[in-house]
Structure 1
Amino acid sequence: MIRSIALFPLVFLVAPITAQTPYFQQEVNYTIQATLNDRDHTLDAHIRMEYTNNAPDALSEIWMHLWANAFKNRSSAFCKQKLRDGNSRFYFAPDSTMGYFENLDFTVDGNKVAWRIDPDNPDIAVLQLAQPLPPGGKLVIETPFLLKIPASFSRLGHVRTSYQMTQWYPKPAVYDTRGWHAMPYLDVGEFYSEFGSFDVSITLPDNYVVGATGVLQTASEVEFLQQKEAETRAEIARRETLLSKAEKAEARKAPFPPSSKTTKTLRYTAEQVHDFAWFADKRFYVLKDTARLASGATVDCWAMFTNEEFDIWEKGAFYVRRSVEFYSNLVGPYPWPHATAVHSALSAGGGMEYPMITVIGNSGGGKDLDEVITHEVGHNWFYGILASNERDHPFMDEGINSYYENRYMVENYGSGTTDNMLPRWALDTRQSGSVTENAYLMLAREGADTPPDSHSNDFWFVAYGIQVYMKTAMCLEWLERSLGKARFDQAMQAYYNAWKFKHPYPEDLRAAWKVAGLDDTDWFFKTMQTKQHFDMALSKIKRGGQGYQLTVKNRGALDAPFSITALRAGQPVQTIWYPAAPEKTTEVEFPDVLADLFVLDYEHAALDFNRKNNSRRTAGLFPGVEPLHLRLLALAERPARTELGILPWFGWNNYDKAMAGLILYNAPFPARRFQYFLLPGYGLKSKNLVGLADLKYRFLPGGFFQKIELGFNAKTCTYDFNPAFDYNLRFYRLMPQVRATFRSPSPAFEHELTIRTLFVGKEEPMFNTPETYERKEWERATIYEVRYSGQQRALPNPNQFAVALEYQDYTAPNDQPASYLRSSLEWKQQFFYKRNRKVEARGFAGFFLKNTQRNRGNVATNNLSGDIARGSFALNPQGYNDYRFDQIFLGRSEDNGFLSRQVSQTEGGFKNAFGTPTPYDGVLGNSNSYILSLNLKADLPFRLPLGLPLKPYFDIGYFDDATPLGADRSFSDQLLWSGGLMLEFFKGGLEVYFPLVNAKRIQDAYTEQTGNNYFKRISWSIRLGKITPITVAQRLANN
């Protein structure tokens, strides 16, 4: 399959057999009669299964897959996986679109048999045999069934009267030397089935065109397909000569014709296959080509497609033919009489394979279509013939097949489609490596990679594509380059011949390679089964009489073959491959050639974790360091160059006014061990230096931790201006921190611990009298914080949480030592009530475990001078509350006007803005004791005109007024609430709030401040502080 949880792992449902048991495999032969009702979208069928026990032990039960039941309800593993990966389409689908089996009535050898559905999986059942089935014994399982065909949520399904009939019949699970392999149906994660034969008869209206596994035995239908092919070729000729572009666009609408009132019955037979799929559509065009194998055998190659992508599917049968011949030549001969590709609806990726037939979704272009068809046809070898356990060892089919897909694309196009998927200014593959290499490094350098030989459940869906498909394919190319194509092909052909029509495991692949003469492939299986990284460094070059002696250091944990290339004037002169070097330092010989540069892995064949140490010049003061280059818009790392990314930046606040400067950084993709992001600038009005800096150094310790980052952040700008005395006030913040990201057992959950120290300095004005300004002095604070946070992304109710402790000590106004220890808990949760519609809730609780100034009469300004108590909580946080300078405020110190109405969605999260108070009136909603709050907002259940992002919101909270005046406050005086409507833009990046109902104290404050001017009550927020190239790179790797 190619792709554009509270899940259940592979279940061994009986005690495993010992590893010493000789190889065996069971056999299942099927006879099925089925009738399609395309009015009700049901299939009425009867199935007969002849099961042969080739195991050395007796079986008392038979585990069955009822995979269509994955679409029966919202408790299936399929549904849970889709929710885990952020897709709620099935979860919120109408019940009428779901699918399931009915009328199941199992018998064994004609007698009723006791059976039950697995309590945790509606798509798994077990038959309890009346008598154990002995070794060599056979039994016949039969049942009628009525299949309610679901809408197209994954593989099995229909779109109106286009049918994709996959996983459509009851099917025994595999029983092998490791026991039973009963597994629920998944979207990400494929299958494992027994070989056998199929005899399938399908009755349906006679104007359907059907493509299926097996050989068509119905002579009249053979003639029907021949007629359809002739009509298709005539249509191709007509379109080429007669139709305008507008007429071709009109033809692509492809309406569904009515079904014929007469029916036909089609019979198909298939040998040595482990599955049977069929696809039916009244709109299909048909083309045929013929593949010719080296043995002289021929294979019929079919393409069936609709008007939707008619132009590119004109070559569909040719693409099938070319891929069949390609795989047959490199791996082993195609064993079946035909190979077919159909264009149909598919919700589980770009294509899906079944024996002899594959279904392809929309492709967009001819090259893309060729690549998807090739990948899916290739699965006839890698799982169709070499039938490994796809669920448990996905690299053995998807990864190996992706290697051959890449090789096919290079042979026929010079490159794959991924090489050109990004513009050169974003990723120059000539200097930065391929898209696939950078995708691998994006995960690996964040410590977010999962070994390709992991259970499918262990991957979130993007990582599944990168690790299983891409990484495996790159490692196989690495192996092929180190061996040479001829030796590699011989080894793969030996694997094919040894294991065709069997169930190989990874150790069987290794053994087959060893028999073929590949003795050292340990490194390959380590890359499949561990997180070990490969990092070779070229550290020294010494030239002697017979050539060069090169010193190579292994700075990674993986020993693998590597190559060294000599270059002169930028052109490669010679490349030599060397075997794996287990020592940390190795000296290798290189012939005496004219060269000025040596490069490890010049052709990017290996998965080198860090290429910055791969090159070394033969002369120069710093032979291992390239001269510095300035580069505009440096997004992707160029390992062979030392680059400084540079961009202009512009900003604005009410005190510096316009700000301008430069962004200096190293390219953030893929993540670097040391990452920096510097923004020096200048305030044009304040004439002050402004800017920020963000530096991170990353460790990947393994084990319990995914990664550990040492960071340093600094920022400075102007935070206030006094026009009466014409002075600016500046602040700075220096923040060293350590962030440890823990390894999570679930792809949908992540959590981390952050420890940071904030050194905050603010200029404060000094007055001799209220009318006499004298000078500015720096007032400083040191704040310590420990924060544990996490998020669970699975739908329908994703959530986030954060628990924090903060400590500060300072000098109170009476020159007495003061301190506080405050704790806080923040919780956010989304409750989706329909697809893409949700209610969002946020709760906050803040409590001072210790506060020597708990009962002071003045709270909540940003003054650090000691006039007021520090660290207070706020129900309605604004710039004056942000004493840590975590947020961006355009008018941080404003007490009136538009900028004073900016709020922050932190702490209490209220939307009411009253501006900066004086030290003695900042009580409303602020507390030196504790606060509690709940914030709600909701999507409307319908879409407004022009997509207006309007939402209702409501906030309610309580603040404990511990000031002397607060002793007389009632509960209702300290309980605040407010609600209204809001506009939300850019996923919360900009929000505008329109309060409509308020608690009395809030309403009184509005009346006092704004009178009857409603527009002065409108507030707003922005959240831009965490959008940097560094955080974007991290989010891509971890989501």
Structure 2
Amino acid sequence: MSLVSHAQRNKTSIDAVLDFKNKELQIQQKIIYYNTSNDNLDTLYFHNWAAAYKDRHTPLAKRLIEDYDKSLYFAKAELRGGTVIKNISSNYISDKWYIDKKTPDIIKVILNKPLKAKDSVVLSLTYLTKIPSSKFTRYGQENNNYNLRYWYISPAVYNGKWQLMSNLNMDDLYMEASDYDIKFSVPQGVHINTDLHYSKSVKPPLTTYHLTGKNRIDIELNFNVVNDFVEFKTQPRIITNVDGTILSYPLKSEIINRELDFIKKHLGSYPHDKLLVNNITYQNNPIYGLNQLPKMFNPFSGAFEWDIKMFKALTRVYLEKTLLINRRTDAWILDGIQNFLMIKYVEKYYPEIKAMGNISKIWGVRDFNIAKLSFNEKYPFVYQFAARKNYDQPLTMRADSLSNFNRKIVNKYKAGLGLQYLDQYLNDSIVSSSIKQFYNESLHRKTSSYLFQKIITQKTNKDLNWFFGDYLNSKKKIDYTIKKVKQTEDSVKVTIKNRRNITVPIALYGVNKKDITFKKWITNIDSTATITIPKGNYDRLSLNYEYLYPELNLRDNWKNLKGLLNKPVQFRFFKDIENPYYNQVFYNFYAGYNLYDGLILGPSLYNEAIFKKKWLYKITPTYGTNSGKIAGAASFVYQHIPEETSVYRYRIGISASNFHYDKDLSYFRFSPFASVEFKRKTLRDVGGSALSARYIMVDKKIPENTARLEQDKYNILNLRYGFSKPDIIQDLRYNLDLQLANRFGKIAADFRFRKLTDSNHQLDFRVFLGTFLYNNTTSDFFSFSLDRPSDYLFDYDYLGRSETSGFMSQQIIIAEGGFKSIFENPYANRWMASTNASFSLWRWIELYADAGFYKNNGLKTNFKYDSGIRFNFVHNFLELYFPLQSSLGFEPTQQDYASKIRFVVTLNPDKLIGLIRRGFF
């Protein structure tokens, strides 16, 4: 790889005028493009990422929808951006240029003669760019503050083929280095912040800034009326508005000097004399954990908080502004270097800082294992969380194919941990020297992670194929265990088993209490191996004791050498991370409610830690304040999450519950069950599908001196298949349900579709179809219901399930008929077909309408309808229904209208958490 000479470096000159009133840029641009390849080019491609904001059909708008962000999709025209190209011409006398409707941010220019290798062409462009609101990607304009990035047209990179990419809000445009000469005219009194050299001239009402820079990538500019940027007289000078706790200018300057010295030591000198570090850089790549902890607790000191935020933003810009790497296809190397430097920086200057900051010192919190995590231990912790759930993805997977969780957090952490792993395994500062050499050999050149691989493998005789193979290119998990230990007079024989299909170096430790007295790296254990080590001053053997490499399971990594292996039981309040040296039982306080039990209070005992386990149990004994009785629930589950199959998870188990279904009347429900959850096509997809089978046995207490009926004790086999694809614009779900019992058999289908129209109105549509295969029941307890199913499977969260009048009877769960009006004879013991629809009028106010046919044995088919107003505050969680016209007539004029109002309420916190985290996992 050779450095492109100054004569062959692209040159870009721009004459731009910023129209504050219309939020537009009027641009005349000239590009001298050099063909540095060995191919003749008859077509050139250019990136115009400002056009990504033009409408709801661009790749950017679709990407934001995938991320559950509809801001651009439904934005008003004046808030969107876009580009109007008036002319593109070249000295090859060509004006043939095209823009594909599917990718409006990529321009194709056809030359009228091939551009020969090592030759150049001059292109002139005239265009107008509408600057978008900053609410979409943080770049753009807001309140006379303009943050401009990817605001001009730039040549795409050609390295044997064109590297084309649309703007997906990932801040990763692959660009060639260029020399820039820019004249930027803005209204008088407007400040500029830039890392280019500039001078200015004033000709009222405009100020013109003349900006120049050589060998630059990605020209980012800030214009504002009230300047919030501060310049620090460091080398290079740092211009930044990274916020945080208020600190004095001298202290911030001292911190930045320390950061720069550290970065220079590990990378090398920055090649320019100024560096712009916009707070947006930090906001788009924050310190996760730091930004989630509540400020009211002041978890970190002001100096640490600003230092670590600034260091992360500074290292990112330092790397991105100098290294020409395709961050969409080769992101791991920059992510790895940045996080490796973060680990080293915290290790050197803040070794005592905990991941939870000062919260870890609070009484009641400090005893948690998670409170004891150091700041750097959060990296393997987060990776293990993702790996246990099988949410992880390979480091070399295209960045635009990664889930947000992996792209923003997990893969960055795993990349940094990988370099830390190499650093510990190779020792002798090989990784640090390789990173520095890679940086200096890559400055302003098109480079890739392959160069780093070449550099580091030349510095060691150790085999690194495992790292540049499985570790980077797969999601295989590391998991070794000490299977057996045998002691002799002067040695210890240790049998180590590899539980997975990846072979990597592992570290074996001898530990005396908490002190490491022995450490040895072991390689090439692909199945099981026995090694012999000398006896020493240690009473425990442990693998990966310092967690130097990301491992799936640490619970089976150790053996005691004195006495029998014993894991004492440890009770911990609330869910915590695992302690591998104890059998942990977690407990917390459970609170629920139903009309008959009243407040349902009691402890909840379980073994599920923050990380997923195979064997799970949960026991919740409770006391009802109204019933005055002990009740509760319990479950025992085995779950298996395979990796390379279409199945996400297998679950099998049993559950039992005992609560009250009516005043002084309890029920006992026992159910063995099994389920198969299928994987999404990709982790960027939402929803999924599942197949389940369960056998439900219900035994209900009945009033004294009352004959037991068929609805008091029954067993039902239930088979169910469910599918969901809850996109933010179109939400499709359906369930197929089969129930078989001694007295009846029934099959039903529930289809639900929700769509946001182009005018941001919501259309909700549902169809229910159900029929009995056979029915020998003598009551309507198992029949289909128009307005309020009896819930004999005890699946629904009814607050007063047996109520037929009063407020609790007005609760509605949209199931079976799904009607909101209350009818006298709503049951069907033969079949039922119904539809429910609603359409939003304004925000959460909607119109609804239901219609349905149903049939009972020996009677004619019946038809019912209803309609009214729906207040849809939180969809499926908090809703109100006000009936208007129905088969009963005009209901508002009828007696006791308040009793006809129906409500939806969901108190399940797990469902609410699932609603909040959509689009991230």
TM-score with structure 1 setting the length:
0.79
How far did 1:22 drift?
11
Q: Deviations over 1:798-824 (max 9, x none)?
A: 41312313030414xxxxxxx434130
Which amino acid letter does the alignment assign opposite residue 370 of structure 2?
D
Equivalent residue number for residue 853 of structure 2: 959
**Structure 2 spans left out of the alignment, 5+ residues:** 288-299
Equivalent residue number for residue 541 of structure 1: 485
Equivalent residue number for residue 222 of structure 2: 279
* Partner of residue 94 from structure 2, selected from 112, 120, 139: 112
* Partner of residue 769 from structure 2, selected from 832, 840, 846: 846
Equivalent residue number for residue 158 of structure 1: 141
- Tell me if structure 1 keeps the 8 A contact 2:688–2:724: yes
Equivalent residue number for residue 909 of structure 1: 818
Tell me the distance in 2 between the aligned counterparts of 1:306 and 1:404. Answer: 19
Q: Deviations over 1:232-269 (max 9, x none)?
A: xxxxxxxxxxxxxxxxxxxxxxxxxxx99354433333
Equivalent residue number for residue 537 of structure 2: 594
How far did 1:685 drift?
6.8
3-state DSSP of counterpart to 2:910: coil
- Tell me if structure 2 keeps the 8 A contact 1:900–1:913: no
How far did 1:687 drift?
7.2
3-state DSSP of counterpart to 2:855: coil
3-state DSSP of counterpart to 1:303: strand
Tell me the distance in 2 between the aligned counterparts of 1:90 and 1:1001. Answer: 43
Equivalent residue number for residue 190 of structure 1: 172
Q: Deviations over 1:75-133 (max 9, x none)?
A: 11111111110112222222112222234422222623311112311110111011111
1:936 paired with 2:838, answer yes
Q: Deviations over 1:473-498 (max 9, x none)?
A: 22222222222361221222232244
* Partner of residue 1013 from structure 1, selected from 896, 899, 918: 896
Q: Deviations over 1:695-751 (max 9, x none)?
A: 4333232234352131324233244558xxxx7352313131212221323613231
* Aligned ranges 1:156-305 → 2 under 5 Å: 156-177=139-160, 179-188=161-170, 190-205=172-187, 207-216=189-198, 218=199, 261-284=204-227, 287-291=230-234, 299-305=235-241
3-state DSSP of counterpart to 1:524: helix
Tell me the distance in 1 between the aligned counterparts of 2:799 and 2:347. Answer: 53
Equivalent residue number for residue 726 of structure 2: 792
Tell me the distance in 2 between the aligned counterparts of 1:783 and 1:699. Answer: 23
Q: Per the alignment, do residues 118 and 286 of structure 1 end up closer, same or farther by CA in structure 2, a change over 3 Å counting?
A: closer
* Partner of residue 570 from structure 2, selected from 626, 629, 644: 629
1:694 paired with 2:635, answer yes
- Tell me if structure 1 keeps the 8 A contact 2:68–2:919: no
* Partner of residue 803 from structure 1, selected from 708, 718, 735: 735
How far did 1:663 drift?
0.8
1:75 paired with 2:7, answer no
How far did 1:851 drift?
1.7
Tell me the distance in 1 between the aligned counterparts of 2:346 and 2:858. Answer: 78
How far did 1:175 drift?
0.5
- Tell me if structure 2 keeps the 8 A contact 1:510–1:521: no
Equivalent residue number for residue 1027 of structure 1: 910
3-state DSSP of counterpart to 1:402: helix
- Tell me if structure 2 keeps the 8 A contact 1:871–1:928: no
Q: Per the alignment, do residues 635 and 151 of structure 1 end up closer, same or farther by CA in structure 2, a change over 3 Å counting?
A: same
Tell me the distance in 2 between the aligned counterparts of 1:774 and 1:285. Answer: 79
* Partner of residue 645 from structure 1, selected from 562, 586, 594: 586
3-state DSSP of counterpart to 1:974: strand
1:504 paired with 2:436, answer no
Number of residue-to-residue matches in the alignment:
898
- Tell me if structure 2 keeps the 8 A contact 1:452–1:528: yes
Bigger shift: residues 560-569 or 47-56: 560-569
* CA root-mean-square deviation: 3.6
1:876 paired with 2:787, answer yes
- Tell me if structure 1 keeps the 8 A contact 2:339–2:412: yes
Which amino acid letter does the alignment assign opposite residue 865 of structure 2?
L
Tell me the distance in 2 between the aligned counterparts of 1:344 and 1:492. Answer: 26
Tell me the distance in 1 between the aligned counterparts of 2:911 and 2:223. Answer: 49
Q: Deviations over 1:30-52 (max 9, x none)?
A: 22232333333322332222222
- Tell me if structure 1 keeps the 8 A contact 2:190–2:223: yes
Tell me the distance in 2 between the aligned counterparts of 1:734 and 1:207. Answer: 73
- Tell me if structure 2 keeps the 8 A contact 1:406–1:416: no
Tell me the distance in 2 between the aligned counterparts of 1:384 and 1:515. Answer: 27
3-state DSSP of counterpart to 2:61: helix
Q: Per the alignment, do residues 798 and 580 of structure 1 end up closer, same or farther by CA in structure 2, a change over 3 Å counting?
A: farther
How far did 1:309 drift?
7.5
3-state DSSP of counterpart to 1:116: strand
Q: Per the alignment, do residues 40 and 766 of structure 1 end up closer, same or farther by CA in structure 2, a change over 3 Å counting?
A: closer
* Aligned ranges 1:330-345 → 2 under 5 Å: 330-343=266-279
Q: Deviations over 1:408-443 (max 9, x none)?
A: 233233367855397546762536993333322332
1:974 paired with 2:885, answer no
* Aligned ranges 1:307-386 → 2 under 5 Å: 311=247, 315-343=251-279, 348=284, 365-386=302-323
Which amino acid letter does the alignment assign opposite residue 86 of structure 1?
Y
Equivalent residue number for residue 229 of structure 1: none
- Tell me if structure 1 keeps the 8 A contact 2:144–2:224: yes
Q: Deviations over 1:636-676 (max 9, x none)?
A: 33333221012343444444455443311124412223333
- Tell me if structure 2 keeps the 8 A contact 1:320–1:341: no
How far did 1:890 drift?
3.3
Equivalent residue number for residue 886 of structure 2: 998
Which amino acid letter does the alignment assign opposite residue 715 of structure 1?
A
Q: Per the alignment, do residues 166 and 958 of structure 1 end up closer, same or farther by CA in structure 2, a change over 3 Å counting?
A: same
* Aligned ranges 1:570-589 → 2 under 5 Å: 571-589=514-532
Which amino acid letter does the alignment assign opposite residue 803 of structure 1?
N
Bigger shift: residues 162-171 or 195-204: 195-204
Q: Per the alignment, do residues 134 and 210 of structure 1 end up closer, same or farther by CA in structure 2, a change over 3 Å counting?
A: same
How far did 1:1032 drift?
6.3
Which amino acid letter does the alignment assign opposite residue 403 of structure 2?
W
Equivalent residue number for residue 416 of structure 2: 473
1:779 paired with 2:673, answer no
Q: Deviations over 1:156-185 (max 9, x none)?
A: 4122322222111111111013x1011111
Which amino acid letter does the alignment assign opposite residue 49 of structure 1?
I
Which amino acid letter does the alignment assign opposite residue 735 of structure 2?
V
Q: Deviations over 1:839-867 (max 9, x none)?
A: 3514032232x6223xx8xxxxxxxxx42
Q: Per the alignment, do residues 992 and 304 of structure 1 end up closer, same or farther by CA in structure 2, a change over 3 Å counting?
A: closer
- Tell me if structure 2 keeps the 8 A contact 1:210–1:278: yes
1:412 paired with 2:349, answer yes
- Tell me if structure 2 keeps the 8 A contact 1:27–1:53: no
Equivalent residue number for residue 859 of structure 1: none
Which amino acid letter does the alignment assign opposite residue 143 of structure 2?
R
Equivalent residue number for residue 89 of structure 1: 71
Q: Per the alignment, do residues 452 and 843 of structure 1 end up closer, same or farther by CA in structure 2, a change over 3 Å counting?
A: same
Q: Per the alignment, do residues 800 and 307 of structure 1 end up closer, same or farther by CA in structure 2, a change over 3 Å counting?
A: closer
3-state DSSP of counterpart to 1:960: strand
Which amino acid letter does the alignment assign opposite residue 839 of structure 1?
Q
- Tell me if structure 2 keeps the 8 A contact 1:189–1:394: no
- Tell me if structure 1 keeps the 8 A contact 2:245–2:303: no
Bigger shift: residues 325-334 or 415-424: 415-424
Equivalent residue number for residue 372 of structure 2: 430
Q: Per the alignment, do residues 93 and 322 of structure 1 end up closer, same or farther by CA in structure 2, a change over 3 Å counting?
A: farther
Q: Per the alignment, do residues 42 and 316 of structure 1 end up closer, same or farther by CA in structure 2, a change over 3 Å counting?
A: farther
Which amino acid letter does the alignment assign opposite residue 825 of structure 1?
D
Equivalent residue number for residue 401 of structure 2: 458
How far did 1:952 drift?
4.1
How far did 1:688 drift?
6.1
Equivalent residue number for residue 827 of structure 1: 752
